[in-house]
Homo-oligomer: A and B are copies of this chain.
Amino acid sequence: MKWLDCDSCDQDIVVSSRIRLARNIENIKFPQKINKDDSESVKEQIKKAVTENDEIGKNYRYYDMKNLNIVESRKYVEDHLISPGLLEHNKIGGFLLSEDEKSTIMINEEDHIRMQVLYPGFELEKCFDESNRIDDILEGKIKYAFDEKIGYLTSCPTNIGTGMRASVMLHLPSLVITNQINGIIQAVNQIGLTVRGVYGEGSNAMGNLFQISNQTTIGESEDDIIQKLKNIVNQLVKNERNARSTIYTNNKIRMEDKVCRSLGTLKNARILSTDEAMSLLSDVKLGIEMSIIDNIDRVIINKLMIEIQPAHILNSADKDLDANDRDILRAKIVRESLEEEVIK
């Protein structure tokens, strides 16, 4: 996935930021109830609005869910480029993906339009500005389902109002090690935000990757939502940095040992499950952020955390693989990409 390329601020802890806007076209039923003709009409209207636009049209490519096999579609989900929900609408769904992969406009997911903008690092404003630009372009051609009092109308009431979901992906290994994460998840939930594992749930999040996002979309402006999320993320970044520094101060050599062993296993194992690989990559990522490891680029690890997911592994093989063969291929892919890096 290209979207992770480039360095940005706070990337030692914040892996990525995302804004997603839900929109629907006036007077057409939501995708769950839509008929064939209307679903085609929705697709055509949105494709046309984007691809015929002078400013952004040339940057987008359209993918129809019907034309993707299950491995390809899942790979886009693992890349965070489309939602798992779009897989469930594979008969009527499609998406427009920008050249730099930072922006996706999903069609006929839960809503007619789900546009998302993704940036590496802590870049909510960039995401918001870009999603607004796309939103404006679409709104120039399409009449949105909108209510003056409520705001944007959406298929599920949890998105109504702004239709906006702002989220940030964080790497919080030290809050997990020091058992602070469960308390934090509870506290964050109480103030209207949600924390969940990016892969896996709660404190068993694979790779210690957590996504924090706004729960409510109504009663607050977009700016308020983003500001609130930023405040909490800043707090979590501070907590994680403190925990890292405490662990390192109290037991430098044990932390170095753990990080270096994990790198050694990644560079040498012949069999690697997704779970184990995520856990080892999390250690190595922490090692890079703590300057214990200095010859591997963090982007390589961020990408590997995606590239070792099951659909990516299946996609790398020419044939169908059972779980055991996937684990063998996963180990090979990890080994080769770390070998290349270390030699540089």
Task: Name A residues whose Cβ lies closer than 8 Å to a Cβ of B.
Answer: 253-254, 256-257, 260-261, 263-271, 328, 331
Contacts and interface: CB of A to CB of B under 8 A. Distances in A.
Q: What copy number does this chain have within its complex? A: 2
Nearest to A266: B264
A290 to B, nearest CB: 13
A165 to B, nearest CB: 41
Contacts of A331: 257
A257 to B, nearest CB: 4
24 contacts: A253-B270, A253-B271, A254-B271, A256-B270, A257-B269, A257-B270, A257-B271, A257-B331, A260-B268, A260-B269, A260-B270, A261-B264, A261-B265, A261-B268, A261-B269, A261-B270, A263-B268, A264-B264, A264-B265, A264-B266, A264-B267, A264-B268, A264-B269, A265-B265
A336 B306 CA distance: 33
A269 B263 CA distance: 10
A328 B264 contact: no
The 10 closest A-B pairs by CB, nearest first: A264-B268, A264-B264, A257-B270, A260-B268, A257-B271, A256-B270, A261-B269, A264-B265, A253-B270, A261-B265
A13 to B, nearest CB: 24
A62 to B, nearest CB: 42
Contacts of A267: 264
A46 B265 CA distance: 54
A268 B257 CA distance: 8
A69 B131 CA distance: 75
A291 B259 CA distance: 29
